[in-house]
Every structure is written in C-alpha cells, then in structure tokens.
Structure 1
Amino acid sequence: MKIALVTVLGFALAAASQAQAQIPSASTSGVNAAARMQGGGPGGSSAASLEGRTVRGQGGVVLGHVERVILRADGSPVQVLVRPKGPRAGGPRSLAYSSLRVDGDGLSIPLNQAEFNAMPAIDVTGK
C-alpha cells in the first residue's frame, strides 16, 4: 500500500513538473484571484487560506507548512508545496491538492515522516 502511494505521488510530481510551465504560479495576486474564483478547497478552505497551514502526516506528526499553492489555468488549486520542518529539511515537497484533508486548523495527508522525507525537493528558484 505504501509503495503504491509513493508511486502515485511520484507520478503526480512528474505530471506537475511537466505541467508547471502551463500552470500559473501562486503568486500573491494568483492566490488571491484563486480565492475569489474558487471559494473552496479541502473542507471548504480557499486557496489563499492554505498558505502557512501546518501539514500533518500519519500519527499526527508535523511534516511541514504550506509554502505555495500551484494553480490550474482556471484558478483552481492542483498542487501544494510544503516546506518540511527542521534545519536540514531542504526544499519544499509537492503534494497533490486532492490528497489533503482538513484536520482542525491544519491539513493532513496519509503519509508517514519517512515517506514525506523521501520525496524529492522541488526547485522553486525559477529557471
């Protein structure tokens, strides 16, 4: 089950990387536009309200915080970049928006710490 989940996340990451050139980044104006257009997300949250939220994995362990929301051309969220916690955490990890669930004031995803840490970091510096 865990291998299948990691494989699916890997395919989602690859698809996001290929489509990223076509998807506008979630700049301040883009996220605000998405919040006006979208009005909802996991559990009714707007795209703008996702930034800064804590993301927890299995067992309630804190994986990191939402750094950026990647939007489709229509303004709906497709990927969420999560900055891992800790001093040696590296770059953010890309998670499928549809895999997130509202968990109190934060979000949760069915990954454990090791699975999340094994995901490749995303280069957000721009090429």
Structure 2
Amino acid sequence: MKPSILIFAAALALSAPAAAQPPAAGAAAAQTYEGRTVRDAKGAVLGQIDKVVLGANGRPAQVLVRPVGRPTAGVRSLAVAGLTADGEGFSTPLTKAEFEAMPTVELDQN
C-alpha cells in the first residue's frame, strides 16, 4: 500500500467524531447512552434512550429512543453514528417532525 493512502486513511480515522463510538464495549458502553436525552438540532427534546443495540463488534450501533409527550408512542431507532454528544445527552440532525414520522420499533418483551 502506498504511504499516501495510509496517511489519508489515518487522517480519515482521526477525523471521525469522538461521540460516534465510545472506547468501551458491551455493557459499559451501553451505560454511556441509556437514560440520556436526545435532542434535535434546535435543542427540542425528542426523547430518552431506552435501550442500546450492540453491533457485531460489541460496540453500540443503534439506540432505541422513547419519545416524550405521548405515553403511547413507540420507540424509534437511531444510529449511534448519527448522534453527537452534548453537555447533557446527545443531539441528532433530525427535526422533531422527522423523528415523530419515523416508524416505531416493536420490542420483544420476553
């Protein structure tokens, strides 16, 4: 492999947002997300992270967010890579309307 390609790959890896993948794996990483608030880009609260879905590598891949407001609204799934850490929780580029229009996720209650 050419040195210029290696340098580009290293620079690309270093430019990835730090909040996208926490250093811990498994249950420790899940605790980083569970219970935290998710807001839209304007700061409106969308919901709270109910559950973390780990990827094949053992790191969080998806979070299930329980919307605020309507108690009967089902959870929505958001990719961890699309979240940005802020002071109190996470933000997403989705608007509140886009989040509410997403399909709900059925959770296995077993």
Q: Same fold, TM exceeding 0.5?
A: yes
For structure 2, the residue ranges without an aligned partner over 5 or more in a row are 1-23
For the pair 1:70 / 2:42, whether they are aligned, the reply is: no
1:97-121 per-residue CA deviation (whole Å, 9 max, x = no partner) reads 1000101021000011100000000
Aligned CA-pair RMSD: 2.0
Q: Matched residues in 2 for 1:70 and 1:77: separation?
A: 6
Equivalent AA in structure 1 for residue 95 of structure 2: N
**What's the TM-score once normalised by structure 1's chain length?**
0.62
| Residue of structure 2 in register with 1:119 after alignment | 102
| Residue of structure 1 in register with 2:86 after alignment | 103
Q: Which has the higher helix share?
A: 1
Secondary structure of 2:107's counterpart equals coil
For structure 1, the residue ranges without an aligned partner over 5 or more in a row are 1-31, 37-45
**What's the TM-score once normalised by structure 2's chain length?**
0.71
Q: Matched residues in 1 for 2:65 and 2:25: separation?
A: 21
| Deviation (angstroms), 1:59 | 0.8
| Residue of structure 1 in register with 2:26 after alignment | 34
- Structure 1 runs (4+) greater than 3 angstroms displaced: none
| Deviation (angstroms), 1:73 | 2.8
| Residue of structure 2 in register with 1:10 after alignment | none
Larger radius of gyration between Structure 1 and Structure 2: 2
Q: Matched residues in 1 for 2:79 and 2:33: separation?
A: 13
Q: Matched residues in 2 for 1:49 and 1:78: separation?
A: 13
